[in-house]
Amino acid sequence: MSERLSGETPEERLTELGLSLPPSPTPMAAYVPFTFAGELVFTAGVLAQREGKVVVGRLGADLTVEQGVEAGRLAGLSLLALLQAALGRLDRVQGLVLLNAYVRCAPDFVRQSDVADGTSKLLLQVLGDRGHHARVAVGVAELPREACLEVQLTARR
């Protein structure tokens, strides 16, 4: 997907996509936004947000799959903002490791993968070959602040 973009740095590719990063999410509780362990960077879980407001609702009830994909994309921007805050510049990301996606959904909603693809595809577009990652996507009963999606990322610096 990244092949179509001519930007040489992740930040240039973001501009080319017409996107800008939101402020790096600030935990509202007793934890920190990211930690390091050797070459690994662990983000905290981030909720899908649009202009600072949590995207609320339940997939399969209040939100369509398309809205879920867009929420996934927004959550991906927050993950990139966290990585930029952690490392200074996104080209210091050497690779991604594992994305955990928790989708809040109504009974019998089974398209968690489509929602998580919203996040995954943005990461690939912006980080290019360094954006590949393994992934777990599950449907959860409830999320903090009625959010529709929470994602957590492990990366290499």
Contact set with a second copy (CB under 8 A): 1, 27-35, 37-40, 42-45, 95-100, 102-103, 105, 107-114, 116-117, 120-121, 124, 132-146, 150, 152, 154, 156
Q: Is the Cβ of residue 14 or residue 147 nearer to a second copy in the bound state?
A: 147
Shortest Å distance, C-beta 79 to a second copy: 12
Q: Is the Cβ of residue 17 or residue 138 nearer to a second copy in the bound state?
A: 138
Give me 98's structure tokens: 């594992």
Around Cβ 142, how many Cβ atoms within 10 Å? 9
Around Cβ 2, how many Cβ atoms within 10 Å? 17
Shortest Å distance, C-beta 72 to a second copy: 10
Q: Is the Cβ of residue 67 or residue 100 nearer to a second copy in the bound state?
A: 100
Shortest Å distance, C-beta 91 to a second copy: 18
Around Cβ 24, how many Cβ atoms within 10 Å? 18
The length of the chain in residues reads 157
**To 10 degrees, what angle do helices 112-127 and 65-87 make?**
40
DSSP for residue 68: H
